[in-house]
Every structure is written in structure tokens, then in C-alpha cells.
Amino acid sequence: MNLNTRQQQAVEATEGRVRVIAGAGSGKTRVLAHRYAFLANEVGISPGNILCLTFTNKAAQEMKRRISTMVDRGSVNDFICTIHSFCAKFLRKEIYRIGYPRNFTIIDEEDGKALARQAMQEFGIDRRKTTAERFLKSVAAYKGYEPMQYIQKHLLPCSSSEAPDATVRYLRLQLKQFALDYDDLLYFTLYILQHFDDARKYWTEKINYVMVDEVQDCTGDDWKLLHAITENHGNLFVVGDPDQAIYEWRGANPKIFVDFKAHTDIILNENYRSTPDILEVANHIIEHNHNRVKKELFTVKLNERQVVHLHAKSDKEEAAFIASRIDDAVKEGMGYGDFAILYRSSFLSRQIEQSLLKLHIPYSVWGGVRFFERKEIKDVLSYLRIVATDNDDLSFRRIINLPARKFGDASLKALSAIAEEDDTSLMTALRNHIDDKRFSKPTLRNFLKLIDDARARVGIMPVSELTDWILKESGLGDLYRTDEEEERLENLTELINSMKEFEEGRIDEGDADLTSYLQEIALYTNADRSNDSERVRMMTIHQSKGLEFPEVFVIGLTEGIFPNHRAIRERRQDGEEEERRLMYVAVTRAERMLWLCESEGYMNENGALKFPSRFLSEVPEGMLRVEGKLDPVLKAGTAGLVSMLNQELCEGGEKPWDNGTRVSHKIFGEGVIEGYDASAKSYKVRFNASTRNLLPHVLTRL
């Protein structure tokens, strides 16, 4: 089977609870596929009695492909799937027990938002203050608080009607359609297993062996399901790496895997992906975490190049260097597809994208959208285009009801007919017919005034200041803040930064005007795109998990950005350790060459001086080759910033919020601070229906 000794040991460990700690690049997928084949071919277990669970549908398809080449008999496809897919299969057989039809509906995120909006509308909840997305988070928190109870109380056909609020109404709307969301799939499966002995007996006897990939990403409820379906035989084989647990923020609980009591423990630490230097860097960084199973990755591969710490004088210089390095390497024989650029936050991609485009380097943004094509960016640019000219109908259509101005499809259709008849643009038609009763609304008059006021500022205000003014006066900025879309706000800040760079670069030419800026941006957005599949890959580090590339650039390694200080302040040590695990994932994506990149300058969000990430200082001196002149003052600044943050987070170090401060809680919703108990270090918080004493780490300031 061409397996190493530990891999072979894992494959042949068929009975009982087996835990495999599989380091990055150690061949865990290979082990899972071979173990499945060993159970089927050598032990004689029918594939219909083996459940193999993966974290993603893509991983499930890859697992099926590998296994199908090794297993001859039976169907290998039935139970090689994600946890949610297994639950859906389970429920299609068993959900009749609680009064649901077997053809129940599974609602996706957009369907859920539609139900949320309906419930919110019925209860008069202002969507400008609470979005559907935020409402769904509160519903999810309600469900997760007591999973079995919400089913009993609200989602059984015979459940008693409770005095409705918006959350209860949402659940009743679900029931009316016999609809389940992704959380429900798991909770309903657990409910039936707990309440129906014959169903539990059937499934625990049918499934003789359970294998789970990426188990560090399982939630506590996922683990409950695993234990429930293996309670008779205990044949649970779990594979994962606590050092690559990067989804605690969405409910994963890697501590369960760390504390898992197994009959057999196996560590796979031989790496087949990266060079020794890359692995040594990864090992030194991750050893600073405490909540882990200690291991050190090693490889028999030879070093090709030293890991490089790229220090640039600005993020623009950082981006230009990366683009130039890729361009030179391709000329020497490498392919564009050999390179990946990884970042903690999506707003960091803008500067890199512009540098790649200048050198005509083809690239793709994985799992995302190019910077200047992101919704919020196009929204703002559409406003600017309307300020520049009345003749842009596409931009008019995009923004006329953004934010909402009670100008729906019927109004737009009527205005379009007038514009067609008058042979004019939509904007001109609106100006000419603003007294028409169909359009004579204060919101539309205010829109025209906004555009005219903006035009009066063209040539007086720089483009960046004009954009900031439009964001405030139009309500667009408030809309994105209300949506709690932090990434969108970061992107808008980055857009204004791009405008400032444009202005600085055109000082001598004297043409840093609005029209010139829009024309330059059009060159970026309409850049010639190669049809060649060979492109530089750009993605967040979360999206890179499970992938590998010959040469990797990790950008934006600035203290506060990566690690993200917000994550640390909210989750303290757990937050810091997850940020470090994310760094570990980024480093271990590289096969032959790794660049760790940061730059001087100032932070986008608060204007603070930028210091290199603490992760760089966790690598011993001399292990990284430094490209660029790094001032020792900056390295000292990192230590000082980390120390200051630690002091802020230490026991008793929090500064109490003032009375009247608005906060939110994932269960109780929005509330107001009414007092602080210094001895208990807790806040007295008044919610709509109650007052509670709560520790600060469970509260989020609004």
C-alpha cells in the first residue's frame, strides 16, 4: 500500500476508539481511504456499514474517488459524506416519526433570510436597526442554547403555541413549510435518536464503523452525534490536527479532540509537502500554543530556499515586490499557478491586485470577488459615476434605491418608459418629471439634492474626501454599519486609501480629478483577463486550508491585522491561539518557498503606526532571511504593543464600561449597562424582559 509505519498502523487499527493526530501534509486523506479499503477488502465489512464523514462536500467527492479505485464490491457512495448530508439521509428515513413528511424542505441561507424578513416585518422590527442576518444569528443562538427544547416547544406539529415574538414566529413559519435549516438537520437527528429507541437501535446496528476527517472542526453537537451512533460498538476513528483548528469562531470545539480518550493514539508527523526550513518555522510558531497535542513535523525532503521575511517601506512597495518576484520567476520557467497569495482579511487584496494588473499577471480570487467588483465598492463607484454624469443608466439603476427610497420595480418601469419616450437618461427623466405624482417623493428629491450638492464639491474636495462625504450623506455608510459587515467597512476604508494614493500620484500632473479617477478604475475593472487556467491564486487563509502551492506569500503580517486584535480582545487566550493556528495553516501551505510579508506605515482603521506581527518574532533569529531594512525600533514596538495588549486583557485590567453603554448578548439580545460589580468583575445589564449580571467576555459593545 506504500504507507509509512505509522500510516499502516492507523489503517490496521480497526477496533475501538482510535485518535489520529495528522499533521499538515502527513497524508491523512490517504490513510482514511486505505483504512476504508482495508475494512472492506481485508476485514470483510460491507461498505453499507461504514460511515465516513468529511468536513466539506468537495472532500467527500475526493474521498469517494480514491476509495472507488480500491473497493470492488458494494456501494462506496452511500455514507461517504458530510455530517449534514448524513443527517439529511437519516431524516428522509426517520423524520415521519415526529410528524414531518419525508420530502421535507431544507432551506439555505437566502431562504432563511426571507423567512426572517417576514417575521421581522410582522413584529415591526426596523430592518435598518436589525438585519435579517443578525436576526438569524439570534435564532441560531436560541436553538443552540437548548437544542432539544426548541424542537419540542416550537417545531413539532403538535407543539403548543407560545406567546409569539419574532423568533417564535420565525420557527412557526418554518413548521408551516416543514422546513429545516442546516442546524435543524443535526438537532432533529439527535432528537430522534434520543427519543425513539427502535430508530437508535436500527442505526447503531447498521453502522459498524465510523471514520471522521478534520474532526478538530466538529462542534460539541457534532460530537454528540458521533457518540450516539457508536454507542453500541465504540468503533470511532477520528482524524485531525488541533494545530489547524481555525473555526472556533463558528462553533468548532477542538478541545474535545485534544481531550479525547482513545484506545489507540497515533501521531502522523512526517510531512510530504514542505521543505525542512518551512516546517521548522511552522513548528516554532505553533509551539507557543498551549491547547494542543505536542508534535513536531519533519520531512526527508531537502531544502530549496530559505524562508524569507519581506519587510517593505509601504504596502504599495510590498505589493510591487510580490508582483515583480512572480513576474521574474515565470520568466525563469515557473507557472502562474505555482503561486498563492494568502491574507487574513480580504481588504488586503486590493493593493496586490493592482500591482499584478500593472504587470499583466493573470490571477483569480478564490471564493471571493475581485476588489473593484465587490458589491460595496461598485455601489460607491456608481454614486461617483452619477455625480460625474447624468447619462449612466446602469449606475442609476444600481443606486436609486440604495439605501431604500421607496422606489420599487413599478416606479423604475414607469420612469424607464418616460426616458425611452423622451430619448433621455433615467437621471435626466427623473429631474424633468420630479413633479409627476409617481416620483414626487421627499426621498427622491433628497436624492437629486444629494447628487447636486456632491457635484458642487467636485474640484473643491479631493476624490477621497468627496467619497467620504457621499458615504455619510447618502446613508450608505450607515447601511453597511447596520449590516454588521465588518469586511465591507474594511473594503470601503481600503477604497478611500486607493483614492488617496491616486491623488498623491497625480499631484505633479494636476489631474487628480473625479473623471480621471473613474477612468483609471475602469482600466482595472475591465482589465484583459486571461482564459488560461494558470493564474496566481489569491485567497484568505481560511479558504487555503487543505491546499498546497510551490510558492506562497503570506501578506499583511502586521500586529493588529494578523493576529487580529479584535479576535484577541473578544476571546482572549482562545482568540490568540486560534490566530496562531491560522498562521500555522498559512505557513504549511508552502511546498518549496515561503514569503512572510509586512510593511511600514499606518493602520487603515485607526491610523496607528504599523509594527511587524508577533508571529515573526516567534521564529528564532537567523532562521528567516530578511529582505528589506527592518528598523530594530519596529521590532521593539511589536513587543511593546503585545505587552500593552496583554496588560489590557489581564485579570482586573478591563476598564468598566460606563452606565448606559449599549451591549449585545448572543442569547438575550441587546441591552444596556446599569452597573458594574468590581468584586465579581461582572456587569449588571438590563434587557427588554430581564436584568442579568454577566461577565464581560460574553458581551459585545454596540
Residues with active-site annotation: 28-29, 213-214, 244, 589
Cα radius of gyration (the chain) = 28
Write out the H or E segment, with its range, that includes residue 466. helix 463-474
In eight-state DSSP terms, residue 159 is: P
Rounded to 5 degrees, what are φ and ψ at 549?
-145, 145
What interhelical angle do 276-286 and 565-587 show, nearest 10?
150
Looking at the DSSP bridge assignments, the partners of residue 691 are 686
Distance CA 418, CA 103 (A): 48
Q: What string of DSSP letters covers 399-413?
A: HTTSS--S--HHHHH
Closest Cα partner for 127 from 111, 116, 140?
Answer: 116
Distance CA 321, CA 522 (A): 24
Closest Cα partner for 540 from 353, 340, 342, 374?
Answer: 342
Pairing mode of beta strands 662-665, 669-677:
antiparallel
Rounded to 5 degrees, what are φ and ψ at 591?
-95, -50
Q: How many residues does the chain have?
A: 702
CB 298 within 8 A of CB 273: no
Cis peptide before 620 (omega within 30 of 0): no
The grid cell for 44 is 470483510
Looking at the DSSP bridge assignments, the partners of residue 560 are 564
Closest Cα partner for 558 from 487, 495, 499, 608?
Answer: 608
- Residue 265, SS3? strand
Query: How remote is the C-alpha of 437 from its chain's centroid?
Result: 46
- Residue 594, SS3? strand
Closest Cα partner for 581 from 59, 217, 239?
Answer: 217
Query: How remote is the C-alpha of 245 from its chain's centroid?
Result: 14
Percent of the chain that is helix, strand, coil (3-state, to 5): 50, 15, 35
CB 415 within 8 A of CB 426: yes
Write out the H or E segment, with its range, that includes residue 166. helix 166-176
> In the sheet where 549-554 sits, what is the strand order?
363-365, 536-540, 339-343, 549-554, 590-599, 308-312, 625-627
Distance CA 566, CA 576 (A): 10
Residue whose grid cell is 510593511? 599
The grid cell for 60 is 467527500
Residue type, 281: V
Quote the strand ranges of 323-398, DSSP E. 339-343, 363-365
- Residue 39, SS3? helix
Cis peptide before 550 (omega within 30 of 0): no
CB 341 within 8 A of CB 354: no
What is the sign, positive or negative, of the torsion defined by CA atoms of 581, 286, 300, 35? Answer: negative
